[in-house]
Structures are given as structure tokens and as C-alpha cells.
Amino acid sequence: MIRQANAVDFWRGLALVMIFVNHIPGNYYGRFTHASYSISDSADLFVFLAGWALRHLVGTPERQPPTWYLVLRLGGRAVTLYAAQIMITMIALAMLASVAILRDNPLLLEWHNAAAVFHDPIPTHVGLAAITHQLGYFDILPLYVVLMVMAPGIAIVDRFAPNLLLPLSLLIYGITLAVPISIPTWPVDGQWFFNPLAWQLVFVLGFVMARPTGIGGVVRQHIVPIRIVALPILIGFVFVMRYGWWPDPTWFPQPRLFFLFDKTFVTPPRVIQFLALVAVISVAYPTIQRYGPRLVDFLSMLGRNSLYVFCVGSVLSLAGQILRYLYRGDIVIDTVVVIFGIAMMAVTAWLPEWRERVKGRPAPKLAPSS
Amino acid sequence: MPAPFSRDCQVGSTATASESPLPNVAAALRDKRKLKILAIGASPSAGRRSARGGHTGETKDILQQAIRGLDVEMINRGVSGELAAQAAIRIRNEVALHEPELVLWQVGTNDALIYVPLGELEQTIVETLRWLKERKVDVVLVGLQYVDRMAQDDHYRLVRELIRKIAAQENVIAVRRYEAQRLLAQAADSGGGLVPDEFQRSETGYVCLSQYLARAITLGVFGGNLRPRELQNLPPRPQN
């Protein structure tokens, strides 16, 4: 049974399209995504909505699946995500290698942290399998894998001590930023682009906000005053983003991470701006649903099949980058890439739903052979 | 004593770097402080032997061997494939977090490959260099890589020239990696080199890069009056 279009799937579908566009640097259409006006970007929305979706899996206090079921289900999801990460990484590496060979240009082998795979393959393949080596733009699924591994723990704390969950998450976040604690990459010396110890806060925020009681209930009850407060924050951050109105990062007291705009640690200004964005933008869904039902259906279809669409979108965005390199990217190339890419993402989402619909139907009769 | 070159890398050694002072690195050495080096930009640690820290790890080792008592902390925050504009934002944060004396910024190759407009690239690099200078952080720019395929590409050539121009104008060291790698390539083509395949040359380029970086830093600290002793033993220059 395919679920009806809804706000979560709609926004998730929108995030997927924007991630695809933003993952092609220099793309003309990147200026029309909210990342051009906002400190937070689609990654924050994606992780937040993943936490929101977890709430539906965990169930309401009245109807909760057994703990063992949750652990198995979420563990299975983590394995699926891991497999998806390995698959798209290998496809990306093959694409880079193919173009490097065809164009006789080894510089392509160095795109997106791929160099070590080709120049130092023995330890780097261990790193790929252990997800301690991640390609640039292919680094959000490893975060998602870790969050899914953490998810049973989150669900269990929520079940037995729901009021402790957000304070515990904030504590881990605070310690991670104060120390700061980096998650190292290996074999290439560096750190995870998305620090799971920091990003778990965005995931947990999505999870607790989706709950009709507790903080989620409080937010729903006071959403109008929250939006009144959030709007000037959001507008202020647009000016900060466009005109650089933020103090020099070296002027802040230690620990400075609490004041910087940093994606790796999803720092507090970014979280605050993101929550303001969610509060303000969420008001728009009923209006969009009313005046643009086809758009809602389309993006919800992408959102319902988010893993497939994300994987195809990641590979297509790399293809878009390669095309921009091959044909000196301009608005024509960008237009073709964006239209074709979104169309392919739609086909990717439609296909499993079509299979779902035809399942159980009698197979079409074959035309008799002569 | 400037940091030495291995035999493979001597061919490109004459073209390694412009010389400019590194006053903040020199001050750290004078005060016997730990030297913090932030490596950022496209693939600063990629390449061979990445398990041992890549070429930044080798640069650290060479520096510590060349300067007695020097304690180097290498902070590797490179993201291979990263554009200058993205690195410029991260440089500010990473400098605020780690307070390094020196930034090694590998810049330009990826911007050239995706045809970032020259004016935009120039503004990004110049603004970042001036910001670093104001905060008393020295910089070594690592320029574009050499590959035969891109040698005829106009935009690639213009980006290379732009980085050299900016380095001269802003008085910062630029490691002329393109020229050094081209000399290695020419030596290989004339049978004088050890790495005939271009893909392998790219790999060897990383090994030499660590030596060129260490040389540039030691010359930046101790001045240009030190002549590299290895130049006396250079093999015959390849003919163009």
C-alpha cells in the first residue's frame, strides 16, 4: 500500500532535489536553492526528517512494537544504508576512473577524496569498507548509517525515559563541541565531514518534535508565537549569509565552535537558523498542497523512495560534474543536467511504486507467437 | 640547512618555489614553540603512503629532520576536489580553532577544471590571504598540477598564471608544482626519469611535493641566501 502524499515526504523530496542541484558545484541553478540564503542546507532537513520518520517507526505510547523488533528493524535499515553507501561509492570511483582513462587526465582521480583509492588502494579499500574513507559528496550516508546504529538506543531511551532523551543528546553535542571531539578518517588523515556525535542532535530534534506530547506538543501548541520569533531570526541570517554580517571567527571566546558556522559540527548558529527555518517554512505546506497538488504528489513520491532517489541523485550529480568538466559547463549544460537528473530521480521513485501496484495483479497476457 | 631532495625529485627542484619570508613561522622557531601547520584545500594528504599521513606527513618528517629540535603539528583538513571558495570559508574556521602559524593551501586545480571565473577565483584567494596576513598566519600556496592533457587548456594556463601573480603581489610563497612536475614529465619523456606513465607521475608528484614544500618552508624561514646543496648534483637538464 503506497502512502498518501504528506508533509514529511514532500519536504524530504524537496531536500533530495536540492541536494542533487547543490552537489554540482558551479551549477547555475544552485543559486535558487535555499543553501544560497541559509546557513543550514538540505543536509540538515534530510537528517531532521530522518529523525521525524523514526518516530513513526517507534510508534505512539499506546501502540509500541516490542523492543527486539525495533532493534532488528533499525539494524536492518543500517545494513541497507551501508550497502547503498558501498554501491554508490564504487559506481562513483568507476565513473572517475573511466573519465580519467578516456580523457587521459589523472586529475580526475583526485576528485572528491578519491586519490587515495587509486594511489594507495590496499589500506584505502579497508577504509572504504569500514566507511572511514568517504568520497566528497558521498559522505552523508555514513552519517545516516551511524545514526541508524544509534537509533535503537534513542528509541529505548525515549520509551523508558522520554524526558531524558533531548538533554542527553544536548549533553553529547555540547561535549563534542567543547572538547572538540572529531571522528577521524583513515587511512587519509582527516575527520568525518559530518560528525555523528554532533549531528545526532538534529536527528533527535526531528524525533522529539514529531512526538505529539512533550516538546513536540509544546511546539505545536505555541507554533504561532514561535513563528513570530523565528521569522526575524531567519531574515537576519539571510543578511548574515549574503553580506557576511557575522563577527570574525577569531574574535570569539573559547570554545569557539559554539559560535562558528560549521557544517561538520553543525554548530549552534546553524541549528538555531535551521529550527527557525523549519518553524517558518512548515506553514507553507497546506497552501502548496492546495494550489500545487501535482507538485506535492511529485515531491512526495521522491520522498517516499528517498534512499533509492538519494543514491541515484548522488551518482547523477557526479555525472553532472563530469559533464560540466567535459563541456565547460554553462547554463545550457546545467539546464540539461538538472532536467534530466530530476526526471531520472522521478523514474527511480516511480519504478518501485509501479512494482508495488502491479504486485498481485495477474501478469499481462503474452501475444501469441506466430 | 634547506630541506633536501631525493634523487627522483631533483629534476624538478629548480622550479619549486618563489621565495618569500615566513615571519610567523620564524618567530615560532625562535621562541622554541611547537609549529602548527594547517594543510587545507584540494587533496593535501592524498597520494601514496596515505596510511602514514600522506605527503603532509612526509613534509613534517622532512622538516623535523632538517631543523633540529623542531616540533611540528600537522593539522590536515584538506578535502580533495574542494574549490577555493569552499576552502576559504573553512580556512577561517580552522584558523580560529587551531591558531596555526602556517597554512599550506593547495588551490586552483579543481577551480580550473570546472571553469570557475578568474575574477571570482582571484577575489577569493586574495581576500583569504589578506585575512590570514592580518591574523599573523603565514601561507604557502601550492599551485596547479601538471598533466599533459591540460597543458594546452587556456583556462588552466590562466589559473596557473593567476596564482603566480597573486603570490607575487601578496608576497607569499607559491610552490610551483606545475613547473616541477613538467620537468619531471620531460625527463621521463626523454628517458631520464623513472616514471614513464602519466598516472604514475601524478603519484610521484606527491612524493616530490612534500620535499618541495619542506624546502620552501626552510627557505622562507632562513632566507634565500641558502643555496640548496643538491643543485650541484643535478642530472643533466632535459631538452625541451
Q: Per-domain residue ranges for chain B? A: 7-223
Q: What is the pLDDT of residue B228?
A: 41
Residue B98: all three cell numbers together: 587551531
Contacts of B149 in chain A (CB under 8 A): 103-105
Residue B40 DSSP label: E
**pLDDT tens-digit map of B31-50:** 888 999 998 976 545 444 44
- The predicted complex's ipTM stands at 0.83
For residue range B149-199, list pLDDT tens digits in order. 788 888 899 999 999 899 989 988 888 777 766 676 766 666 544 444 555
Question: CA of B17, closest CA in chain A: separation in Å?
Answer: 21
Residues on chain B touching A123 (C-beta within 8 angstroms): 50-51
A328 near B CB under 8 A: yes
Supply the pLDDT for residue A218. Answer: 95
Domain range B7-223, CATH class = alpha beta
Asked if A111 has any chain B CB less than 8 Å from its own CB, the reply is yes
Name the more confident of B7 and A345: A345
Does B97 sit within 8 Å of A260, measured CB to CB? Answer: yes
User: C-alpha cell of A58?
Assistant: 517507534
> How far apart are the CA of B164 and the nearest CA of chain A, in angstroms?
20
Mean pLDDT of A202-214: 94
Picking from A104, A189, A256, the nearest residue to B54 by CB comes out as A189
Lowest mean pLDDT among A24-28, A40-44, B5-9: B5-9
Please give the mean pLDDT across all residues of chain A.
93
CB contact under 8 A, B46 and A188: yes
- Measured between CA atoms, the residue of chain B closest to residue A126 is B51
Q: What is the mean pLDDT of residues A345-361?
A: 91
B229: pLDDT confidence band, cut at 50, 70 and 90?
very low
Give tens-digit pLDDT for A234-256: 999 999 988 888 889 999 999 99
Nearest to B94 by CA among B140, B135, B127, B52: B135
Q: Which of A59-73, A122-136, A238-252 has the lowest mean pLDDT?
A: A59-73
Predicted confidence (pLDDT) per residue in A325-340, tens digit: 898 878 999 999 999 9
Among A106, A136, A189, the residue with its CB nearest the CB of B80 is A136
**CA distances to A34, A171, A282, B3, B238 from A45, in Å:** 11, 22, 12, 49, 56
The answer to whether residue B231 scores a pLDDT higher than 50 is no
- For residue A321, which residues of chain B lie inside 8 Å, CB to CB? 114
Which A positions 264-293 lie with beta carbon below 8 A of chain B?
Answer: none
pLDDT in the model for residue A109: 87
Q: Which residues contact A252 (CB under 8 A, 6 or more apart)?
A: A258, A259, A260, B96
Confidence of residue B99 (pLDDT cuts 50, 70, 90): very high
Confidence at residue A357, expressed as pLDDT on a 0 to 100 scale: 87
Contact present, B198 and B147 (Cβ < 8 Å) = yes
Instruction: Name the strand (E) or helix (H) holding A79.
Output: helix A67-102
Pairwise CB contact (< 8 Å): A120 & B48: yes
Pick B222 or A187 by higher pLDDT: A187
Given an 8 Å threshold on Cβ–Cβ distance, is B147 in contact with A107?
A: yes
Residue in B207, B145, B135, B155 with CA at minimum distance from that of residue B175: B145
Q: Residue B81 and residue A136: Cβ atoms within 8 Å?
A: yes
Exposure class string for A221-239: b at 16+ Cβ within 10 A, else e: eeeeebbeebeeebeebbe
> Do the Cβ atoms of B45 and A256 come within 8 Å?
no
Per CB-CB distance under 8 Å, the chain A contacts of B145 are: 107, 110
Nearest to A189 among B57, B97, B155 (CB): B57
CB atoms within 10 A of CB B227: 10
Cα–Cα nearest to A308, from A349, A353, A339, A354: A349
Q: Is the pLDDT of residue B210 over 80?
A: no
Short-list A113, A42, A40, CA closest to A263:
A40
A257 interaction partners in chain B (CB closer than 8 Å) = 97
Cα separations in angstroms, A79 against A140, A207, A365: 15, 21, 38
Average pLDDT over residues B50-57: 57
Q: Checking phi first, is residue A26 left (phi over 0); if not, alpha (psi -120 to 50) or beta?
A: left
Q: Give the pLDDT score at A6.
A: 93
B contacts of A119 (beta carbons < 8 Å)? 46-48, 50, 202-203, 206
Distance from C-alpha of A21 to C-alpha of A15, rounded to nearest angstrom: 10
Chain A residue at shortest CA distance from B135: A250
Q: Which has the minimum average pLDDT: A40-49, A224-233, A320-329, B2-11?
A: B2-11
Interchain proximity A110–B42, CB inside 8 Å: yes
Cβ neighbours of B77 in A, within 8 Å:
190-191
Cell numbers representing residue B37 in the block = 601547520
